[in-house]
Structure formats: C-alpha cells, structure tokens
Amino acid sequence: MRYGGQIQAAIDLYNEAGRRAAPLDVVISQYFRSRRYIGSKDKGVISGVVYGMMRRLGEVDYLIDTMKGDKSYRLRVFVYLLLEGATKQDIDNICSGDTYAPKILNNEEKKVIKGIDFAALKKAPDHARMNYPKWMDWHLKQAFGDDLEAVMEAMNQQATTDIRVNTLKSSVDKVQAQMKSEGFEMRRTDYSPLGLRMDERRSVFSTKVFKEGAFEMQDEGSQLIAAICRVAPGMKVTDFCAGAGGKTLALSADMGNKGTLHACDIHERRLKEMPKRLKRAGVNNVQTHLLASENDKWVKRHKETQDVVLVDAPCSGAGTWRRSPDSRWKMTQESLQELTEIQASVLQSAARLVTKGGRLIYATCSVLKEENEQQVEKFLEANPHFQLQKIEELDVKANLPEGVSTYLKLNPHHHGTDGFFVASLVKDL
C-alpha cells in the first residue's frame, strides 16, 4: 500500500474503533482479519498510527480546540501526524484524493492545519499535555504526586513483550535458547525469576516453543501477583476472578500440578478460553466454575475451605494504558464508582472462602487509590478477623523492587511493568 492508503485505512480503523465498545486490540484484530489483502508491514503502519493517536489524544484535541476545529476522526489523525513530525505540506500531499488515499482537505481542515501552533502545548492544562481525561486529574495526582508527569510519559510508551516460562514443561534457560533459535532475542526480567522480555512488540504465538506449552504471554508485574500468592503443592487454592486463566496457569505451575485449584468467573466467554490453555500447559489440577454472581451458591458450599484465595478484581485497567491506550478515554467518573462498588462486593464474597490462617490476595491492574489502598482499608475495617501482611516481610520467590513495603505497587516509569497493586491479607486462627 502507498502511504496515503495506509493513512486512509488508519482513519477508517479509528472510525470503526470509535463506533464500538470493544477494546482497541479486538477491533484492530477483527479489522485486519476481514481484510487479508493488507500486508504485515502495512498493518504495522496502520495500527501504529491508531495506537499512537490514542496515546496523544489529549494533545491532539487541545490543539484542535485552540483553532476551534471539529474533532473529526480524520482531522485528529492529521494533527497526530503533525505532532509526530509530518509537515503541513506532507498532510496536503497525503490528502491527494487519489484512489484509496484520503480526500482533499476541506477549507475547515486547511484552516486548522495551517493555524496550529505547537508552542500552545506549553500552556496546555496537565490533563491535555499528559494525555488523560480531565476528570481523572485529581485521581492521578493523588496517586503519583510529583511523579505524575514521568509516569504518564512511561504510560504513553509502547509496552514490552513479556512471557512467563511454564516450569511444568521447561526452564527459563531452555526457553530463552529455543526462542533465540526461532529469531527472538529475549532477556531475563528484573523481578520475576520466570520471566523473559524483549522490547519490540512481536507476536510469539506461532513459535514452536509456545505451541508446546513452554510459556505464556504475561506482563512481569502480573507474574509477581502469582508469586506473592506463595502457593505450594497440595494446597486448596481459588482464583476467584480467573478470566481466561493467565494467573491460574501460573498458580498451577507453582503448585507443581498438585492440590486443588478452583478457577471461577462470572463470564462464560472468558472461561471457555481456559480448557485449551490448560491442555497446552499440561495443567490437570484445575476445576473451572461459572458463577452466577460473586454470591453464587458455590461460594457458600466452599466456605472457609481454601488456603489461598486470589482476587484479581475487575478494575479500570488504569495501569495498562501502554497496551490499551484507548481505555483511558472510555472511562468515566460513574464507571469508576461502579467498579469500586463491584470490587468491594467481590472481595467480601471471596473472603468467605478463606480458611482460618489462610490468605486472601487482592490485586488490580490499576494505579488509582480508590481501587487499591482504599478498598483494602475499607475491607479491614469491616473484617477485623483479617490482618494486613507487609509484602516486604513475606518470603516471596521473586526479586521484589526496592522500596516495597506494605503493598506491592508497580508502574512503568519505576519498574518497566504495567501498573499493578497487590495486598496480602491473612485470616486469624
């Protein structure tokens, strides 16, 4: 494809994403699947423009607003290209009106593109300059204070490709060597002893070693959640919000495939993905359970029977903006409030499963205090028979980052991982 065709495809794709509630990566995958004539290099350019524009949408919209322009999908893409170094003449050339290329600029677009002054960004409010919704300003400043700008800069970078080695089938050294033989140079992760990483975003699913079940795609921060659970062979363990099973697989490996591991979720579609993943990984100690709600009768039947319960709670995903830059723009104050209510209910329900002396692990992929520390504090006030364990004092089989104390709090600026929060609670004997 010529560059003009790539940009028009990016506009079309962005338009498609804007009309649908599905996550951007899902929309992109479906878009390309229905257009198999688009080559891999073209896909890279097209998706790169859309992802990049989502990361810089705050700046893009602010600049358009300074010119009182209409924030159309098309104009947003053009302004993003200018931010990335394209000249105004480049935009004019792209909009040639040729077959497959964008139509010639209209007068309104010409006015905006000609009049944009990038120096105006120096005076832009923080939310526009750092690319997050205005309503989140207070929430993010509460979470990061003076570090916010550096954290947001890291959040707007492309994420690394991390994998977790499946110790039921292989070893880190062996997988690293096998991946190298298939053309993937990967290095060990800093904190997880089971992780390998490469900086570039490349699909690893077609590799022989993946098909053999020797590893799973998993951010290093997510790997640490499983490590903090400190499960062992023979235990009774529940992954209460298991989804498609990423952490379930990690827990099973840590259990040596011995003991009982319950994988629960209220979404049938997610649980349907798990059996094939379990089979590929060689896992046979997992029982899946589709719950009607967090208060399902299954919870009552298994009251106070579990040694470890992991609650990887549904959350805003505010720690995963590197991978899902569109999600920040879909969030609202109302949706955050709804999520915090769901989190409190899920945590309270999961706590019923924990046996005396057992542990309850609460985790999110959010960086917001409302979903993290404040949830734990409210839970402890209502449940005095649970005590908070300091992460720094736990015997965790991982190299925990410096500065970890009561909670594990990760972010891409300080740790090179997605944003995560983990708390460990123990039930009184």
150-194: pLDDT as tens digits? 999 999 999 999 999 999 999 999 999 999 999 999 999 999 999
Q: Are residues 198 and 232 in the same domain?
A: no
Note whether 182 and 280 are same-domain residues. no
Count structural domains, the chain.
3
Average pLDDT of span 239-254: 96
Compute the distance between CA of residue 390 and CA of residue 75 in angstroms, rounded to an integer.
Answer: 50
How confident is the model over 299-328, as a mean pLDDT? 97
What is the per-residue pLDDT across 69-89, written as a single tens digit (0 to 9) for each?
A: 999 999 999 999 999 999 999
* Percentage above 90 pLDDT, the chain: 95
Which residues span the domain enclosing 363?
Answer: 220-427
Q: With left for phi above 0 and alpha for psi between -120 and 50, is residue 334 left, alpha or beta?
A: alpha
Looking at the structure, tell me whether residues 192 and 86 fall in a common domain.
Answer: no
Residue 301 lies in a domain: yes
In this structure, are 109 and 197 located in the same domain? no
Are 386 and 275 part of one and the same domain?
Answer: yes
**How many whole angstroms separate alpha carbon 71 and alpha carbon 213?**
46
User: Does some domain include residue 384?
Assistant: yes
**Overall average pLDDT of the 388-406 stretch:** 95
H helices within 56-161, ranges in order?
Answer: 57-66, 73-83, 88-94, 107-115, 126-129, 137-144, 148-155
Note whether 239 and 208 are same-domain residues.
no
Q: How far apart are CA 161 and CA 170, in angstroms?
A: 19
Evaluate whether residue 65 is within a structural domain: yes
* 143 domain-assigned: no
- Would 322 be classed as within a structural domain? yes
pLDDT tops 90 at residue 53: yes
pTM for the complete prediction? 0.95
110-127: burial string, b at 16+ Cβ within 10 Å, e else: eebbeebeeeeeeebebb
